[in-house]
Chains A and B, each alone.
Chain A
Amino acid sequence: MYSQYFPLLRAALAAVIVAWSMPAHADTHAVSQAKKAFAVGVLKAKVGDTVVFRNDDEFAHNVFSLSDAQSFDLGSYKKGEERTVKLTAPGTIEVECAIHPEMKMKIEVQK
């Protein structure tokens, strides 16, 4: 007697499944490098997010990670320039500036 609703239910179920399987909305996180320090000590983010590092010092900085979770080397860049990395895997990423080893931060990446 409710068979006329089956196509509607199937469509609703399919929509839920599709929505569930879609990645959450990706965010962009801005991290300044100023006075030889990252502006954030620990950044919480999720897979798919993007982190934008901006050099706000008068001299060159670098950004790299050799962590198991994700490794990258964004090179060296001048004041006012930015470098971007997309987070591809869950885990803790230890980020440093190769030029100034005292500059360190972590990115805790959730699924």
Chain B
Amino acid sequence: MPVTTSIRRFSYALAFLLAFVCAATVIAAESSLGANVGANLRSDPWIRPEQAPAPAENLPTSARVVLGQMLFFDPRLSRKANMSCASCHNPALGWSDGLPTATGFDMKTLARATPTIINTAFNPIQMWDGRKSTLEDQALGPIEAGGEMNMPLPELVARLKTIHGYAAKFEDAYPGQGISEVTVARAIASFERTVLSTESPFDRWRMGDEKAVDDSAKRGFELFTGKANCAICHSGYNFTDNGFHNIGVKNTDPANPDVGRFAQKPLKSMRGAFKTPTLRDIGLTGPYMRNGCYTTLMEVVEHYDRGGDDKDNLSINVVPLHLTAQEKTDLVAFMQSLTGAPRLVNVPALPH
């Protein structure tokens, strides 16, 4: 082999080796950067965890989620077999119903708005008045409530046992436990733990994409956490403190006001107080407030700007804000940035 050829080959090999080392260094650096970004995201209080927490006795499995999804969409869980969980918590309407207040048993209009179930799996307390603490407890509440699905739980269990296809599904999900109130609740809760918000423009902005939201939304976030005082209650990645506040919403029926949390905790400050709802996917979940009295987010901002309407037992957190027209627009732009692309959901075929 000529010497010049050997030298050429050696230089090619050296160049290749150098290129490999450089590439490996870049890849390692990017991996390291990726890990750092991930760590930063996890520590960002405004970015939600990837998965919802679940109790040790009901860890999610695909069989449990599949069964829970069937039960969630099955109208036979109601007394007249004409209402499912999804009748009010409709995925096509932000997992709510698009109505000011819910429609219950025999088409009766109820007193409170249907809360979205998006991200409710992160909440340690459930319902507008906090009367349920876990998703499993919550799942059975509307089924047996006389004004809602109005289905006595023993009757529900008996009915499900007559539907041939369910036995195998329950066995797959909860081996040896059969069809019971407990397994029905656990399956529905397992499905609800998958109903999570999707990545929103706000999230992309927090992750470093400066173009994900416009300047108005950025100013809105500053106001939200500052002058407008919103974040003292709508705090953290789920935009709720899981607390109870009387924010001065006008009662639909002033002669018979909704006492809210007071029914659970008979304390003065809880009269007319309701749980802070999430603002995730807020663009999908109107009308707003516990009695659906506002159809737009601007109306909500105006409400807080004037310091509420009904001053009886008003939270001391609620005071007039004196926002400018631009500031109100910015707040609305920010809240709209919390809405991600609606999650596609398959409506399951139900067993017979």
Which of B233, B242, B261, B267 meets A59, CB within 8 Å?
B233
A60 to B267 alpha-carbon distance, docked (Å): 15
A73 at the interface (CB under 8 A from B): yes
Binds B, one of A9-17, A21-29, A45-53, A99-107: A99-107
Determine whether the beta carbon of B242 is less than 8 Å from that of A98: no
B305 at the interface (CB under 8 A from A): no
Determine whether the beta carbon of A100 is less than 8 Å from that of B269: no
Question: Which of B233, B243, B273 is the most central at the interface, judged by chain A CB atoms within 10 Å of its CB?
Answer: B243
Q: Quick one: given A73-B268, A75-B268, A102-B124, are A60 and B242 in contact (CB under 8 Å)?
A: no
Determine whether the beta carbon of B241 is less than 8 Å from that of A62: no
Q: Contact flags (1/0) for B316-329 with A, using CB distance below 8 Å?
A: 11000000000000
Determine whether the beta carbon of A76 is less than 8 Å from that of B241: no
Which of A36, A66, A73, A76 meets B316, CB within 8 Å?
A76
Which of A36, A64, A77, A78 meets B241, CB within 8 Å?
A36
B60 at the interface (CB under 8 A from A): no
* Chain A residues positioned under 8 Å from B244 (CB to CB): 98-99, 101
Which of B124, B267, B316, B317 meets A98, CB within 8 Å?
B267
Chain A 63-79 interface residues, beta-carbon cutoff 8 Å to B = 64, 66, 73, 75-78
A101 to B243 alpha-carbon distance, docked (Å): 7
Determine whether the beta carbon of A60 is less than 8 Å from that of B241: no
Determine whether the beta carbon of B232 is less than 8 Å from that of A58: yes
A66 to B270 alpha-carbon distance, docked (Å): 14
B290 at the interface (CB under 8 A from A): no
* Chain A residues positioned under 8 Å from B124 (CB to CB): 101-102
* Chain B residues positioned under 8 Å from A101 (CB to CB): 124-125, 130, 242-244
A102 to B233 alpha-carbon distance, docked (Å): 14
* Chain B residues positioned under 8 Å from A62 (CB to CB): 267, 269
A21 to B341 alpha-carbon distance, docked (Å): 72
* Chain A residues positioned under 8 Å from B268 (CB to CB): 73, 75
* Chain B residues positioned under 8 Å from A78 (CB to CB): 316
Determine whether the beta carbon of A99 is less than 8 Å from that of B316: no
Residue of chain A at shortest CB distance from B313? A76
* Chain A residues positioned under 8 Å from B243 (CB to CB): 99-101
Q: Contact flags (1/0) for B238-281 with A, using CB distance below 8 Å?
A: 00011111000000000000000100010111100100000000
Determine whether the beta carbon of A60 is less than 8 Å from that of B316: yes
B315 at the interface (CB under 8 A from A): yes
Determine whether the beta carbon of B242 is less than 8 Å from that of A100: yes
Task: Please give 15 more A-B residue pairs, beta carbons under 8 A apart, in addition to A62-B269, A98-B273.
Answer: A59-B232, A59-B233, A60-B315, A62-B267, A64-B267, A73-B268, A76-B316, A98-B261, A98-B267, A98-B270, A99-B245, A99-B269, A101-B125, A101-B243, A102-B242
Interface CB pairs A-B, < 8 A, 18: A59-B317, A64-B265, A66-B265, A73-B267, A75-B269, A76-B269, A76-B316, A77-B316, A78-B316, A98-B261, A98-B267, A98-B270, A98-B273, A99-B244, A99-B269, A100-B243, A101-B124, A101-B244
